[in-house]
Structure 1
Amino acid sequence: MPDEVDDVVGVLTEQIEHRFGMGIGTLKAAVAAAPDAHREATEAVRRHDLLTESQAVLEHAEDDLLRALETQPGEADDHTVDLAHRVNDAVSARDGRAMAVRWLLDPATRGERSPAAGRPTRLDRSTRRGPAAPTSPPARPATAPATGRGALR
């Protein structure tokens, strides 16, 4: 794939730079100097590092697969299939980390960084205003019919 089409890291790097108003190198230096000064910047740098690491693993796996495919005269052997699976796993890891960076940069989620923030509201019991189901027994008629089998006399 062309780099400009599949440059997930580049796009997210630009978004981080725009969000914090400085280049990624400058941001990383600022976070290294004062990691507790800005929690969101520290987390963005940490996630960006994980993303770039997973991108490097993906590129290495793709290179290994291409080398193996170039030497294959016909069908792929087990080793080549294993390399293809490694590429798929690396893509999944990279995409998962990219999703985490996107979520971190999403203005709608700012301030919602708790582990429960990603949970759907229907599962978040802390926002429930009352019981989930009625707690009182249903209303019964004032008198029960006294006829029939098993009626008390």
Structure 2
Amino acid sequence: MSDDITDIGEDVVGVLAAQIEAHFAMGMDHLKAVVASDPAANPYVTDIVKWHGLLLDAQSALDRAEDDLLAALETQPSEVDDPTMGLAHRVNAAVTARDGRALVVRWLLDPDAPGKTDLAAERLARLRSRTGPAVPTSPARRTAGVPAPAVARAGRALR
């Protein structure tokens, strides 16, 4: 793989890692250890560490896809065959995945990002603070002496 292409990917991951480290004033290894010890302690840090890990995975997949494509191109005559085009599409998909994950990390780091300060963000924050489901997840138990509601009886009669 050419050094220029490799450097771009490493720059994306490296720049974001540096931003995360500056934001929390600690290294990625320490952040990962903090999250591993108690993931529920700070969901914000847990989300950033999780998405940074996904970004690293995506960058590794992109590196492998680029290596496979370059190896195939070295053996190709002037025209590219279908399997090699498939590898090119795999590279494009890997770039998209890596860039998407990088955008998520950037969004998580930006306190003024769209969607973080509006009404929907406030509602989401309230939902996250709940410890259980918003509504019961199982139907209420009926005692033997209580008849079924009229709506339920009417629905059974229609069958």
Using structure 1 for the length normalisation, give the TM-score: 0.70
The 3 A distance-change label for structure 1 pair 60 and 71 is same
Q: Report matched runs for 1:18-33 at 5 Å.
A: 18-33=22-37
CA drift of 1:15 comes to 0.5
1:73 aligns with 2:77: yes
Are residues 93 and 41 of structure 1, via their aligned partners in 2, closer, same or farther at CA, if it must alter by over 3 Å? same
The equivalent residue for 1:95 is 99
Q: Out of 61, 64, 78, which is 1:57 matched to?
A: 61
Aligned residue type for 2:57: E
What is the Cα deviation at residue 87 of structure 1? Answer: 0.2
Deviations 1:32-53 (A, max 9, x none): 0011121211000000011000
Q: Within 2, Cα distance between the matches of 1:36 and 1:83?
A: 40
CA contact (8 A) 2:6 2:63 kept: no
Amino acid at match of 2:77: P
Note closer, same or farther for the CA distance 1:113–1:63 as it changes in structure 2 (3 Å cut). farther
2:16 — aligned with what?
A: 12
Q: Structure 1 vs Structure 2: percent identity of aligned residues? A: 57
Aligned pairs, number: 116
Q: CA 1:44–1:110 in 2, change beyond 3 Å: closer, same or farther?
A: farther
Q: Is the 8 A contact 2:13 2:56 kept in 1?
A: yes
Please give the root-mean-square deviation of Cα atoms over the aligned residues, in Å: 2.1
Q: Which runs of 5+ in 1 are unaligned?
A: 118-153
Question: Which secondary structure state, in structure 2, belongs to the residue aligned with residue 107 of structure 1?
Answer: coil
Structure 2: stretches of 5+ with no match in the other structure: 122-159
- How far does residue 73 in structure 1 lie from its aligned partner after superposition? 2.0
The 10-residue stretch of structure 1 (105-114 or 17-26) with the greater mean CA deviation from structure 2: 105-114
Deviation at 1:4, TM superposition (A): 4.0
Residue in structure 2 matching 1:43, options 15, 22, 47: 47
* More helix per residue: 2
TM-score (normalised: structure 2): 0.67
1:111–1:84 CA distance, 2 compared to 1 (3 A): closer
Secondary structure of residue in 2 paired with 1:95: helix
Q: Which has the larger radius of gyration?
A: 1
Are 2:40 and 2:46, in contact at CA under 8 Å, matched by a contact in 1?
yes
How far, CA to CA, are the matches of 1:31 and 1:19 in structure 2?
A: 16
Q: Do residues 107 (structure 1) and 118 (structure 2) align? A: no
